[in-house]
Structure 1
Amino acid sequence: MSKEQSMQTENETEVMEEQQDAQAAEEMKQDINAEVGAEQVSQESAEQLQERVAALTAQSEDYMQRLARSQADFDNFRKRTIREKEELGKYASSKLISELLPIVDNFGRALDTRPEVEGSESFVKGVEMIYRQFENVLQAEGLTAMETVGQPFNPEFHQAVMQVESDEHEEGIVVEELQKGYMLKDKVLRPAMVKVSG
């Protein structure tokens, strides 16, 4: 074998080795890419799974908060309904009693202007008894008359219709009651009409 043939064979062998090395490197590169790709796919799957779990957890917490708010709203509604029912029962007679107050006023006026006629005493006593009986029925329902004269003026309980100068009382004191005020249990049924010192 000549030197040239030997060199050519060596060159061919080198080329073949280089090609084999290149092919092996390419295969190695493909294997590495495949492994990295699989790892990335599994990593992406894990990240997607974590994101899905986080989204579902947030949604679950949102539903729990909504449920808690709904339960609280229902609880408040139930309590308010019970309170309104109790209040309705407590003040059920307020409309009727309000309509009876002018009659109570007229009874009082009638008794203030008793006739000084002979033989009228038994009639006046009868009217007084009816008036007391009427007052007792209203008091049993929770009606009480306000004490106003000498008290400081309070717009929640008093309706001032006049302001007068007074040497006896300091400013802002009720000096005269023109119409009685009434409370029904703990609620003002009718404010008292009063004169106030100025």
Structure 2
Amino acid sequence: MKMEQENQNLQEEAVETETSETAQAQDNAAAPDERTREELIAEVARLTAEAEDYKTRYLRAQADFDNFRRRSRQEKDEFAAYANVKLIEELLPVLDTFEMAMKSTAETDVKTLLTGIEMVYRQLTGALEKEGLTAIEAVGQPFDPNLHEGIMQVASDEHPANTVVQELRKGYKVKDKVVRPSMVQVSQ
């Protein structure tokens, strides 16, 4: 009972405090501003100038961002257009060797032609290896679906199950990214 009385007293005090604060706020709102008309005009002018400054800064930042985005897109397009120039420069000697081989086919024997083709192959693989291309080792390795494309399974007594038995098409990767998986036969 005593506890209920104390709670009721506290509630009454809170209501009185709230009522007096509300009345005081209304009195303050109704009281005329003590500043003069000139001071109010100066305050409005200052706030207007400040708002204009913020607007100007915002518009400049937006324009800078639009210019940055446009420049970035142009640089990206330019990079994409000329990204392969280094590789093309590496492949030009291979193209030259092919042209020489094609010009001399009527006059040369098969052995010389084969030697020329081997030279072109070495130049081509050398140029691609400089760019980071490596062949994926497949035969005798455990089948890995990230590196190998299994197209058939064969019975094999020589190899354990899920081992690459034969490579039908070589696979390649550049650094750690698979460019083309090896096409393989896998043991059962």
Task: Give TM-score scaled by structure 2 length.
Answer: 0.50
Q: Structure 1 residue 127: deviation in Å?
A: 5.8
Partner of 1:70: 66
Matched, 1:195 2:181: no
Q: Identity of aligned pairs, percent?
A: 31
Partner of 1:4: none
Q: Is the 8 A contact 1:142 1:185 kept in 2?
A: no
Q: Secondary structure at the match of 2:84?
A: helix
- Report the Cα distance in structure 1 between the residues aligned to 2:67 and 2:37, rounded to whole angstroms: 44
Matched, 1:163 2:153: yes
Tell me the number of residue pairs that the alignment of Structure 1 and Structure 2 aligns.
134
* Displaced runs of 4 or more, over 6 A: 184-187
Matched, 1:48 2:38: no
Change (3 A) 1:193 1:90: farther
Q: Structure 1 residue 90: deviation in Å?
A: 4.2
Give the counterpart of 1:81 among 77, 84, 88. Answer: 77
- Report the Cα distance in structure 2 between the residues aligned to 1:89 and 1:166, rounded to whole angstroms: 47
The code of the aligned residue for 1:73 comes to: R
Partner of 1:148: 138
Change (3 A) 1:133 1:63: same
Determine which structure has more spread, i.e. the larger CA radius of gyration.
Answer: 1
Partner of 2:57: 61
Structure 1 residue runs of 5 or longer lacking an equivalent are 1-35, 94-122
Matched, 1:133 2:129: no
Task: Give TM-score scaled by structure 1 length.
Answer: 0.48
The code of the aligned residue for 1:162 comes to: M
- Report the Cα distance in structure 1 between the residues aligned to 2:88 and 2:142, rounded to whole angstroms: 31
The code of the aligned residue for 1:138 comes to: L
Q: Is the 8 A contact 1:142 1:184 kept in 2?
A: no
Change (3 A) 1:195 1:90: farther
Structure 2 residue runs of 5 or longer lacking an equivalent are 1-31, 90-108
Give the counterpart of 1:178 among 168, 175, 179. Answer: 168
The code of the aligned residue for 1:67 comes to: A
Q: Structure 1 residue 182: deviation in Å?
A: 4.5
1:33-88 Cα deviation digits (max 9, x unpaired): xxx99x53212212211221221122122123213313432442244234313423
Q: Structure 1 residue 195: deviation in Å?
A: 1.6
Question: How much is the aligned-residue C-alpha RMSD, in angstroms?
Answer: 3.9
1:138-174 Cα deviation digits (max 9, x unpaired): 2243166443213344445432212345565555542
The code of the aligned residue for 2:128 comes to: G
- Report the Cα distance in structure 2 between the residues aligned to 1:46 and 1:135, rounded to whole angstroms: 83
